[in-house]
Every structure is written in structure tokens, then in C-alpha cells.
């Protein structure tokens, strides 16, 4: 009984430790999202949702040099082992509550029916790397729609039109094409990095081999010819010339 109790205690401690680790990683991703947006889009307002308050993690209010509040993008970060479908409905409710135009769920684990960035039930879902490209495209789309609407009158409610466009199949296909380009570039870059590392390693081994053979050859000749051969300082121990001079004296 005591051994069983000890096992339960150990398991409970491990579970709490894992939860703490995941929470810390989640907070790191939240901060990374906010920092990326703030640096990438200095004209925009990035509002953090305080801990304990209802809602996602931050809101991006899009501005240009000529127009304020073109639209808003709502971000929520998730970093857990399993994707929960209930996140989507809750996030949609938070988006409506905040009056945001579009929502982006940045998650480490994708839904079971998705293997990459996509639109699901009106919410954009992506991983952190995909978020970096998605946020720029969403922002530019919001600016373009806002500009088009501001030049027209009586063409419908701005928020509804913006939401309809950003959740349309046309926009989704455009986004998927852009993401495919980003993905291909990343795969190519990773492949180039691996190839260069392999080449550098081969060169390093070749150089080591040449140096080793040179040292062996120099040692053999030095042993035969003695002082008749000129000293190569790079292949001698420090102070070797002084030691030889002392022996001659």
C-alpha cells in the first residue's frame, strides 16, 4: 500500500510539473506573438489581454499613415498536447464580444482534420511559423477592403463586408497558395543548410587529413636529415628552436 501511494504521489508531481512547463511555454509563445506584431507593424496598436480577463491573448488594431482603425485582428495562442474543438466556439464568442473583424488561433497542435494553416468555422488556425506570414496577409487585406469601402457609400456595413471577405473560399485559396510558397521556401532553406553543414564537415575532415599527413612527412624527413632541413615553425613545438640551440651549446 505504501509503494502504491508513493507511485501515485510521483505521478501527480510529474503531471503538475508537465502542466507548469506547458504553461510557461504557452506564455512564451504569447509574448513572441505580441513582440513579432509590435516590431513588424509599428503603426498598429497591439493590445494585450490581461491575465485572468476573458478572451484571447492580444488584439491588433490596424492603422495606416492616412487612416486609423482600418480593422482588428484577434489572436489567441494555444500550446498543449491536444487540440480541443471547444476552443473554436469559445474564441468566436470572444471575437464577437470584442467586436474584432477576424480571429487567428495560433496552436502547436492542429485539429485532426488539418495538417497546415486553414480556415475552420470562420477561424484561421495556424502554427507559429505560419502565423508570421498569415498576419501580414490578413493585415494587408484589411487595409485594402477598408480603403475600398471608405471610397464608396451605402455599400453595406464595413465590419460585415470585411468578415465575409476574409472568411470566403476565394481568400482561403489565396492564403493557401501563399503559405505553400512560404513552406516551399522553408523546406528549400532547411535543405540548403543541411547540405552546407555536410560540405563543411567534409572539408574539415579533408583539411585535418592533409595537416596530419604533412606533420607525419615532416617528422620523418626531420628524423633522417636532422638539422640539415630548414625548420618549419608551424610544425614545431613552441620554444623548440631554443631547446635545440641549448643542446648544441
101 close to 171: Cβ distance less than 8 angstroms: no
The span from the CA of 43 to the CA of 46, in Å, is 10
Q: Which residue would you say has higher pLDDT here, 241 or 163?
A: 163
For residue 215, what pLDDT band results from cuts at 50, 70 and 90?
Answer: confident
**Given a cut of 70, is residue 98 above it in pLDDT?**
yes
Q: What percent of the chain stands above pLDDT 90?
A: 13
The whole-number average pLDDT for the span 179-207 is 79
pLDDT (0 to 100) of residue 45: 93
Element (DSSP H or E) covering residue 101 = none
Residue 93: is its pLDDT beyond 90?
no
Predicted local distance difference test score (pLDDT) of residue 46: 93
CA 209 to chain centre: 39
- Under 8 Å between Cβ of 59 and 47: yes
Q: By the 8 A CB rule, do 137 and 176 touch? A: no
Smallest CA-to-CA distance from 59 within 21, 101, 26 is with 101
Is the pLDDT at 22 greater than 50? The verdict is no
Q: What is the pLDDT of residue 11?
A: 60
Q: Greater confidence, 218 or 126?
A: 126
Position 28 pLDDT exceeds 90:
no
More confident: 215 or 238:
215
What is the structure's pLDDT at 42? Answer: 93
Stronger pLDDT, 153 or 219, i.e. the higher one:
219
Q: Mean pLDDT check: name the lowest of 105-109, 204-208, 243-247.
A: 243-247
| Residue 20 confidence (pLDDT) above 50 | no
Q: Is the pLDDT of residue 148 over 60?
A: yes
Identify whether the C-beta of residue 235 lies closer than 8 Å to the C-beta of residue 214: yes
Report residue 48: phi and psi, to 5°: -80, 135
Amino acid at each position: 500500500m505504501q509503494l502504491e501511494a508513493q507511485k501515485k504521489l510521483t505521478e501527480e508531481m510529474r503531471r503538475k510539473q508537465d502542466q507548469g512547463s506547458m504553461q510557461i511555454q504557452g506564455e512564451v509563445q504569447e509574448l513572441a506573438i505580441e513582440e513579432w506584431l509590435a516590431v513588424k507593424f509599428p503603426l498598429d496598436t497591439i493590445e494585450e489581454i490581461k491575465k485572468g480577463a476573458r478572451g484571447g491573448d492580444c488584439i491588433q488594431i490596424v492603422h495606416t499613415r492616412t487612416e486609423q482603425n482600418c480593422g482588428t485582428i484577434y489572436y489567441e495562442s494555444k500550446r498543449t498536447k491536444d487540440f480541443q474543438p471547444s476552443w473554436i466556439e469559445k474564441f468566436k464568442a470572444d471575437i464577437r464580444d470584442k467586436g474584432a473583424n477576424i480571429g487567428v488561433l495560433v496552436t502547436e497542435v492542429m485539429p485532426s482534420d488539418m495538417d497546415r494553416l486553414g480556415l475552420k468555422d470562420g477561424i484561421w488556425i495556424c502554427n507559429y511559423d505560419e502565423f508570421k506570414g498569415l498576419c501580414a496577409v490578413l493585415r494587408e487585406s484589411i487595409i485594402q477592403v477598408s480603403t475600398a469601402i471608405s471610397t464608396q457609400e451605402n455599400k453595406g456595413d464595413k465590419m460585415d463586408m470585411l468578415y465575409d471577405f476574409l472568411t470566403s473560399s476565394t481568400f482561403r485559396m489565396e492564403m493557401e497558395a501563399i503559405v505553400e510558397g512560404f513552406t516551399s521556401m522553408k523546406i528549400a532553406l532547411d535543405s540548403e543548410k543541411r547540405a552546407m553543414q555536410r560540405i563543411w564537415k567534409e572539408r574539415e575532415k579533408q583539411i585535418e587529413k592533409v595537416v596530419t599527413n604533412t606533420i607525419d612527412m615532416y617528422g620523418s624527413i626531420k628524423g633522417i636529415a636532422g638539422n640539415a632541413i630548414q625548420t618549419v615553425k608551424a610544425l614545431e613545438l613552441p620554444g623548440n628552436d631554443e631547446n635545440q640551440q641549448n643542446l648544441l651549446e
